[in-house]
Amino acid sequence: METRKYEITYIIRPDLEESAKSDLVDRFDKVVTDNGATLVESKDWSTRRFAYPIAKYTEGTYHVMTLTTDTDQPLNEFDRLAKFSGDILRHMIVKLDA
């Protein structure tokens, strides 16, 4: 199977303390690498206002990860855990063109 490149964007609650946010990012970086992906980049984008409230929040901190993988396992595991996390308001996984 060929290696594909993906971008995962997720929105973190704005009221999360900096240390807790850092732990959350580290934990989700580890989820994808432990499941066979290679992390190319993981960085905060910015805190932005939403067009409409999400879970009673009007803004959130966007975080972007770029990774490569030849299996869907890291993406599926990230998706599963992000749905359970109360600290991640929304997430999106996009396949990037080669």
d(CA 51, CA 71): 34
d(CA 10, CA 65): 9
Write out the CATH class of domain 4-96: alpha beta
Q: Among 70, 50, 62, 61, which residue's Cα sits nearest to residue 15?
A: 61
Render pLDDT for 12-61 as a digit per residue (tens, 0 to 9): 999 999 999 999 999 999 999 999 999 999 999 999 999 999 999 999 99
- Residue 80: Cβ-neighbour burial (10 angstroms; 0-12, 13-18, 19+): exposed
71 φ/ψ angles, rounded to the nearest 5 degrees: -140, 160
**2 falls in which pLDDT band (50, 70, 90)?**
confident
> Structure pTM?
0.93
d(CA 35, CA 75): 9
Domain ranges of the chain: 4-96
Quick one: pLDDT at residue 1? 67
